[in-house]
Chains A and B, each alone.
Chain A
Amino acid sequence: MLFIQLALNGLALGAAYALVALGFVLILNATRAVNFAQGDLVVTGGFIGAALASQLPVPGFVLLPFVMAAMAGVGLCVSALAYWPIRSRPPVSVFITTIAVGIILQNGLNGVFGPEPRTAPALLPGANFEILGLAISRQSLAIICVAALLIAGQLYLTNHTQVGRAMRATAQDRDMAAALGIPVARMVALTFAAAAALAGVAGLLLANQFFVTPTDGTNFIIKAYIAVVIGGWGRIGGALAGAMLIALFETLVSAWIDYTVATGLLYAAVLTILFVRPSGIFGEVEGRRA
């Protein structure tokens, strides 16, 4: 029974991590650049959710669209400040500018909201319930459902819509896409907005169960980076699998052995995967690695 309980917890945690990693992959695929501010965008989403909740005491699902909209705006700003002015420079330049944006976000949140941990409202009101002796958290179920919907929506958008095709064309060859009449600047901005909105959702979901502080972004970006490396650089499905693997190590494996050893085993697993399949479990999307 404990195993099932832990697996359920791991699934919910992995779903939230997957949203973080998904936003990371989106920008990676659109710009070939690593967005190191993604973790701080997650934290920003959590703080926006907490701030909205203090003014508007409603369930989290009501706040969700507002958080996504606000974070999409933040994403546009990040695109305009940290990517667009240096889009023709080597990808390493974007590493630096996104790190700078992350630090600005972190210290900005500290200055505006203070250093205290914050909590956001649950997506659905109401206490936990029991099924067959399992304590089922409404928030955990909501996290899994919301993450599944958003990931499915993202896959549909990318693979089955004209906008998604334009985004992929922009990622593959920006000059050729522009020559074909695709609004490249708009596509890049849209990608940043979508990635930030996903980060905002992850932030709102994580802030309720696990709280959020201005300095949490580093932990999230490390997990997203590992998830993407495990799953295959640039693969949406791979990022999802990587996020789940990390969460399962954090819940199932560490329930039976020491946390520190479990963390060591996770990194050993990452190294093993990279040794056996250097391009990750699902393989690397060609030419994405900077």
Chain B
Amino acid sequence: MRRVALWFIPAAVLLASAPLGAFEVNIPVLVPVTGFLSLEGTSQRNGALLALENPPNNVTVTYEVADTSTAPEIAVNALERAVSRGNISAVVASMLGTQMLAMLPLAMEYKVPLVTMSGTARITEMGNPWVFRFFPGDAITKVAHARYAVEELGKRRPAIIYQTTAYGQSGRRHLAESLRKLGVETVYEEGIDTSVKDMLPLISKARRAMPDVLLLHLHSGPTALFVRQARAAGIDIPIVAGSAMHQPSTAALLEPSELEGVCAETGSSPISGGNAEIEQFAIDYRKRFGSDPDAFALGQYDATTMVLAAAASGATTPEAIRQYLSQTRHRGLAMEYYSDGKGNMAHDAVIICYDGSDRLPDIVKHYRAADPQN
């Protein structure tokens, strides 16, 4: 009943434009800033806004921000409304896979590129030439996740704890498959609902299987809950978590001592620094939004910057931008982006680890998928 009621909430719309330049583009930002994905969706929106507010000198940007919440029809309506206003160049599209799947046929019909951070594998497996994903999917991050546990930590008895959501099950499948390819079988696997509060039953079952490493693929809150309760229960084996653990808001829920020995896979970790440009991005982000950036913010910033680079080169129509995204390599802050022919633009993943002294993770390992263009 609640979900039905949410349909009637009008999406928040913000219209704005940047200083005048020679080339004009209109880039609506249609992302979930309310609902269960609001944490990640807000990061996505913020990353896009930071890029749109600072376009290249010769580009004029018009954009609107609309909340797609969590229902596919809200995302479809937002896209229809944006298209009906005319002259769209590209769309910053929801990172929620179910919304992307609903928007893809429209993108094909209206011939408008969607740039997204969605991790749902299927969106780039449908032969739709109008979708471009700027966050490494499970096929990349879960390989890094498994390889770090097996090759770097030397673990042979992993336990996998995953969320029963679509996100969690996709991650579990790729993680288990990657482990198998490395010649390692999991000793324990269990999925949990996002509403589970007490993790002790799960921890006690995992402990009985005698794993030597715990691999998590959970959302932000459950990740922090699991780490805290595992440490309280005296679990001292390494924990390698999913990308939720890299988010500063997740680490903020835990004491630095609870984070000792905790690592995580992610596309990037802007608060960990690395070079002057990323550090400047983090400073600008904090100044503009009053919070720390995460990989979703940096990925969407890079994606939007690439669209603006296309515009700066004269590619202002949807078709010209699509061709630019399909054929050009773009040096972003997090990594180099290029299409694999299906719209997958991000091919790097990193492993970050906390040393227990603070909540600032260090990047300890960089993984890069094979480059199909070389």
Contacts and interface: CB of A to CB of B under 8 A. Distances in A.
A260 B38 contact: no
A9 B200 contact: yes
A172 interface: no
Contacts, number: 100
Given A6-B204, A9-B198, A9-B200, A259 B193 contact: yes
Interface stretch (A73-81, A110-118, A159-167): A110-118
Nearest to A206: B197
B34 A110 contact: yes
B22 interface: no
Interface stretch (B1-9, B278-286, B326-334): B1-9
B32 to A, nearest CB: 10
B201 A254 contact: yes
A48 B36 CA distance: 20
A47 interface: no
Given A6-B201, A117-B253, A258 B1 contact: no
B42 to A, nearest CB: 5
A214 B34 CA distance: 9
A115 B1 contact: no
9 contacts: A10-B198, A95-B1, A117-B221, A211-B253, A213-B39, A215-B35, A255-B200, A258-B190, A260-B164
A114 B289 CA distance: 11
A27 B221 CA distance: 30
A191 B252 CA distance: 37
B291 A211 contact: no
B184 interface: no
Contacts of B250: 117
Contacts of A13: 197-198
B202 A254 contact: yes
B18 to A, nearest CB: 25
Interface of B: 1-2, 5-6, 9, 33-36, 38-39, 41-42, 164, 190-198, 200-202, 204-205, 220-221, 224-225, 232-233, 249-250, 252-253, 291
B192 A259 contact: yes
B201 A211 contact: no
A29 interface: no
Contact of B224 (A5, A117, A135, A219): A117
A259 B190 contact: yes
Nearest to A119: B253
B9 A103 contact: yes
A51 B39 CA distance: 18
